[in-house]
Amino acid sequence: MSSSVSSQHDHVLVEENSFARILTLNRPKQLNALSFQMISRLLELFLAYEEDPNVKLVMLKGEGRAFCAGGDVVAVVHDIWAGGWRAGANFFMKEFSLNYLMATYSKPQVSILNGIVMGGGNGVSMHGRFRVATENSVFAMPETALGLFPDVGASYFLSRLPGFFGEYVGLTGARLDGAEMLACGLATHFVPSAKLPMVEVALCDADSSDPVIISSIIDQYCEKSSLKEQTVYNRLDVIDRCFSQRTVEEILSALEREVVDQRDGWISATIQTLKKASPTSLKISLRSIRVGRVQGVGACLTREYRMVCHVMRGEFSNDFLEGCRAILLDKDKNPKWEPSKLEHIADTTVDRYFSKVKDEDWEDLKLPTRSKFNLPPYVIAKL
C-alpha cells in the first residue's frame, strides 16, 4: 500500500459492527480538518455502504476534541499558489459531491458532534439525518472572516433556521453551543458525552434503517439541555429585526439603531465582527443564504461551487487568499480587504459570483446520480 493511500485510510478509521459502520475522522492534531484524501475516502465508503444491504446505518465521529474543524483550507491555499485555482476547484468539487451524497443518502447517518464542528465539518454532518450534540459541541461557520462564504451547502441549512437566525450565524461566524444547536434545529438530539458509548452500542445492535426507530434509540440517552442565561438565542427578536434587512449596509444600520436604544454589549460586538469581516464575503454570503431559501440542496451546492470558483480565481477580489494569510498562515489577524468598504461593491459585482465561470475548460458541478435509490421522504423534501 502506498504511503498516500495508507494515510488516507489512517485518517478515516472504519469499524464494522453488525448492521452499523462507524467512521472516525482521525487527524486530531489538525482538529480533524478534512484533506482531499479524507473526503475521497468518505465518498468511497458512503457509496459502498449504500449498495451493501447488510449496512443499515452509518455513524460519523471525530477523534479528540473536535468532530471536524473544517476543510483543510491551508492545504487548498498552498495548492492554489502551486498550481492555480483549478487545484482548489478539484477539492471543492469532491467535497460538495460528498455533501450532496450525504444530503440525499438513502440510509440514516448519525453524526456525533462531541466537540468543534465548523466549516466543512458542518458539510459532512448537517446534511445527515441525525446530528447529536453534547455539552462539548461548538458550532460555527466562520468563513466571512477568511474572505470566503458559508459553503458546503450552508445556504441550504442556514436558510432553514428559525427566522433570520441563519443570516446572523452565516454573516458573523457566531459560535453556538450544543443547547443552542438543538434549540435552532442544527442538532436533532442532545446527549451527555458520558453516554455516547452506550448510544453507539445500542445503534450497532439496531437491525433497522427506519429513522423513527433510530431516533427513539437515541432518545433513550437524551437529557434536557438548558440554554445559558446570556444565550444569543434569547435575542431572536433583535436578530430578526436586523438581519431581515435587504442589504448588509441596512443590517448594520439596524444594529446601530438597536445599540442607541438598548446599549447592549452583544449588539456592539456583533457590529464590530461584521466590520472586521471581508465586505465582499458579507455581500455574497447574504445573497447566497437568501437565494438558498427557495432552492433545493443540489441547486444550492451547484451555485456555491460557481461562487467558490470565482472566489479562488480572484478576478473580482483576492480576499480569500488574503484572509487565509492573515488568519491561518501569518496569523497577524489584520487582513487588508480589497474592496475595503461595503459601498465600493456594486450589486453587479455580486451578480458575477453567481454566474458560470467564463473559462472554456470549466464545468458546472456534477452531482452524484440518486435516481436508482429508494429515497426516504425526508430526503425527497430536500431536492
Flag whether pLDDT at 228 surpasses 60.
yes
- To the nearest 10°, report the CA torsion of 156, 57, 368, 37: 90
pLDDT at 6 over 70: no
Q: Confidence class of residue 8 from pLDDT cuts 50, 70 and 90? A: low
Per-residue pLDDT of 11-51, as tens digits, reads 999 999 989 999 999 999 999 999 999 999 999 999 999 99
149 vs 264: which has the higher pLDDT: 149
Predicted local distance difference test score (pLDDT) of residue 53: 94
Strand partners, 113: 133
Taking the C-alpha atoms of residue 173 and residue 269, their distance in angstroms, rounded to an integer, is 12
Higher pLDDT, residue 8 or 340: 340
The predicted pLDDT at position 371 comes to 76
As a whole number of angstroms, the distance between CA 147 and CA 364 comes to 22
Kindly tell me if the per-residue pLDDT of 4 is higher than 50: no
**Distance between CA 314 and CA 305 in Å, rounded?**
14
Q: State pLDDT tens for residues 160-169.
A: 999 999 999 9
Quick one: which of 55, 27, 241, 225 has its CA closest to 136? 225
Q: In the chain, pLDDT over 90 holds for what percent of residues?
A: 90
pLDDT digits (tens, 9 = 90+) for 97-112: 999 999 999 999 999 9
Q: What is the pLDDT of residue 373?
A: 76
Q: Cα–chain-centroid distance for residue 312?
A: 18
Per-residue model confidence (pLDDT) at position 44? 97
pLDDT at position 18 is 85
Phi, psi of 109 (to 5 degrees): -110, 130
CA dist 207 and 320 (Å) reads 46
The three cell numbers locating residue 267: 449588539
The pLDDT-based confidence of 239 (bands split at 50, 70, 90) is very high
The mean of the pLDDT values for the chain is 95
The pLDDT tens digits for 302-358 are 999 999 999 999 999 999 999 999 999 999 999 999 999 999 999 999 999 999 999
Confidence band for 370, pLDDT divided at 50, 70 and 90: confident
Active-site residue list: 71, 120, 143, 151
The yes-or-no verdict on residue 261 having pLDDT over 90 is no
Structural domains of the chain, with CATH: 10-357+366-379 (3.90.226.10)
Mean pLDDT score, 224-250:
96
**Burial class, 339, CB count within 10 angstroms (exposed 0-12 / middle 13-18 / buried 19+):** middle
How confident is the model at residue 256, as a pLDDT? 95
